[in-house]
Amino acid sequence: MLAQLRDFRPDASSDTPLYMQLANKLSDGIASGDWRANEALPSERVLSEMLQISRVTARKAIDMLCDRGMLTRRRGSGTYITPKLEQPLSRLTSFSEELRQRGFTAGSRWLQREIGIAAPLELLSLGLSPNMPVARLKRLRTADDVVMAIETSTIPAAYMPNPHNVTDSLYGYLEANGTVPMRALQHIRAINANIEQARLANIAPGTAMLHITRVSYLDSGAAVELTHSWCRSDYYEFVAESRR
């Protein structure tokens, strides 16, 4: 790969700033698979020497890709290719299952686990009667300790009397208790992160995110889960296969 780096050399005769040219070339290289997720990018010194540019130019290009979410700096270690999570819409799997299948370490940082009375939207989505108790879970979903999404889930208390018993995988808990979701309806829309979402996800306010609303159902047809996920669009991709 080091030999191929020479192809990324910016054109000094172009009107486009050198750092922007380099950032775009690196971005294209990452998108085409020249580097794998979590692979280290050559250092600023290596880039400047091989491409015959200043270290300031190399640093500005890397800064730009870090801002785009394509690169991640790790203190004392270097700069790495940010992992991407492609989640197929045709398969009902948990966040943890998808990450493990792709070689990542899935994790959760709990923000809330409690029992309360269902709110009107929860009643409607889950088909509950007024004043029915529900378990509410709120957490940050991480891949290799990087926050990928903010997630809130509401489960009828009949299926989850003690939400503190959920340690990591929500679907793992439901399956262990004989309430396996068999199908789900998902709605996906683009939003801009508010101040609180930006703080939790470690992004700038106004950054584009994907808001996914999912209602999952048991084989009996009863709704078992209402989940809202605010996913970082720089890490998350949804893939849908269409056939005719």
pLDDT score for 89: 64
Give the Å distances, CA to CA, from 180 to 17, 22, 218.
54, 49, 6
pLDDT at 5 over 80: no
pLDDT score for 1: 52
The pLDDT tens digits for 129-168 are 999 999 999 999 887 777 889 999 999 999 999 999 998 8
pLDDT at 78 over 90: no
Tell me what percent of the residues of the chain surpass a pLDDT of 90.
45
Q: Which residue has the higher pLDDT, 160 or 82?
A: 160
pLDDT grade for 102, boundaries at 50, 70 and 90: low
Identity of the amino acid at 112: Q
Q: Provide the token pair at 191.
A: 């939003």
pLDDT score for 38: 73
The Cα–Cα gap between 34 and 42 comes to: 12
pLDDT grade for 172, boundaries at 50, 70 and 90: confident
pLDDT score for 75: 80
pLDDT score for 145: 78
Residues 80/41, Cβ–Cβ less than 8 Å: yes
Mean pLDDT of 210-219: 94
Identity of the amino acid at 30: I
Mean pLDDT of 8-31: 86
What count of other Cβ atoms lies within 10 Å of the Cβ of residue 83? 18
Residues 5/48, Cβ–Cβ less than 8 Å: no
The pLDDT tens digits for 142-151 are 877 778 899 9
Helix (H, G, I), strand (E, B) or coil at 138: strand
List Cβ neighbours of 99 (8 Å cut-off, separation of 6 or more). Answer: 85, 105, 106, 143
pLDDT grade for 26, boundaries at 50, 70 and 90: confident
